[in-house]
């Protein structure tokens, strides 16, 4: 597989990951909130609007990665955004993990995002060589 094809599949995979994560957590918080919410170290809030809003945003960002997978030449700026997006969410999640406010299961998706961020960064650095 050549590098261009690899990157297209990388971005498509990232899109699917965001879609699964966003939709999955929205559905889990609707149908099993007492299982999901404690994963993030919180009691049940009076409303899940902020949780749902966050995961809708995760889902929507998946469309940006999908657009990038369609044309990596026209849309390579989305990869730069993706690095910022993936890294930005890691800081608060790891901080809250280390202070004990979320458990390891709540950090697993962020670990996957860390790998994706590294792969996106590799694309950003090597884009000119394509």
pLDDT value of residue 100: 86
Angle at CA of residue 76, ends 73 and 82, nearest 5°:
155
| 128 touches 68 (CB < 8 A) | no
Contacts of 100 (CB under 8 A, 6+ apart): 41
Confidence of residue 4 (pLDDT cuts 50, 70, 90): very high
Range of the domain at 73: 3-129
The number of distinct structural domains making up the chain is 1
Give the alpha-carbon dihedral of 20, 24, 27, 28, to 10 degrees.
180
Confidence of residue 50 (pLDDT cuts 50, 70, 90): confident
pLDDT value of residue 82: 96
pLDDT digits (tens, 9 = 90+) for 78-123: 999 999 999 999 999 899 899 988 888 888 999 999 999 999 999 9
Residue 48's nearest CA partner among 68, 17, 25 is 25
Which residue carries 């000119």 as its tokens? 128
Q: From residue 43, how far is each of 34, 35, 47, 111 by CA, in Å?
A: 9, 11, 11, 24
pTM attached to this predicted model:
0.90
pLDDT above 70 for 42: no
Average pLDDT rounded to a whole number, residues 46-74: 93
pLDDT value of residue 34: 76
């Amino acid at each position: 597989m050549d590098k261009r094809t690899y990157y297209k599949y990388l971005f498509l995979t990232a899109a699917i990951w965001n879609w699964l994560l966003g939709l999955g957590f929205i559905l889990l918080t609707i149908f099993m909130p007492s299982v999901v919410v404690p994963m993030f170290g919180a009691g049940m809030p009076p409303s899940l609007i902020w949780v749902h809003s966050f995961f809708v945003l995760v889902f929507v960002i998946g469309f940006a990665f999908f657009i990038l997978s369609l044309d990596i030449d026209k849309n390579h700026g989305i990869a730069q955004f993706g690095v910022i997006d993936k890294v930005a969410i890691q800081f608060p999640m790891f901080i809250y993990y280390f202070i004990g406010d979320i458990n390891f299961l709540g950090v697993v998706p962020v670990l996957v995002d860390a790998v994706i961020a590294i792969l996106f960064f590799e694309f950003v650095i090597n884009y000119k060589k394509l």
